[in-house]
């Protein structure tokens, strides 16, 4: 649908849900050996909701960080 960001709502009996926004080109600071510079980067919002009775904030944060790392390292040329 092209949504940039949203708040996913848990459907019972699920305990967590994740949403990914549309990928857009945005200006961002990039660190280089010559110093910081502004460059155009592809950016996406990744959000999640979870039932705090089953998942605490630390575990939820570690999970979304791992998903983000996996997506950032995605190789389109890898074999499936």
| pTM for the model | 0.75
Condensed to tens digits (0 to 9), the pLDDT of residues 10-31 reads 998 999 999 999 999 999 999 9
The answer to whether position 39 is within a domain reads yes
Q: What is the pLDDT of residues 29-79, one digit of tens each?
A: 999 999 999 999 999 999 999 999 999 999 999 999 999 999 999 998 988
Which domain does 30 fall in, by range?
16-72
Tell me the pLDDT tens digit for each residue of 26-37.
999 999 999 999
**Residue 60: inside a domain:** yes
Q: Alpha helix locations (H) across the chain?
A: 57-72
Q: Is residue 7 part of a domain?
A: no
Catalytic residues: 52
Give the number of domains in the chain: 1
Distances (CA, A) of 16 to 11, 12, 20, 45, 56: 8, 9, 14, 17, 11
Q: How far apart are CA 50 and CA 45, in angstroms?
A: 17
């Amino acid at each position: 649908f092209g949504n940039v960001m949203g708040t996913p709502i848990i459907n019972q009996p699920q305990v967590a849900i994740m949403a990914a926004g549309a990928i857009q080109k945005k200006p961002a600071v990039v660190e280089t050996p010559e110093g910081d510079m502004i460059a155009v980067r592809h950016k996406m919002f990744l959000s999640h909701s979870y039932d705090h009775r089953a998942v605490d904030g630390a575990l939820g944060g570690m999970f979304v960080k791992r998903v983000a790392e996996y997506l950032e390292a995605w190789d389109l040329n890898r074999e499936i």
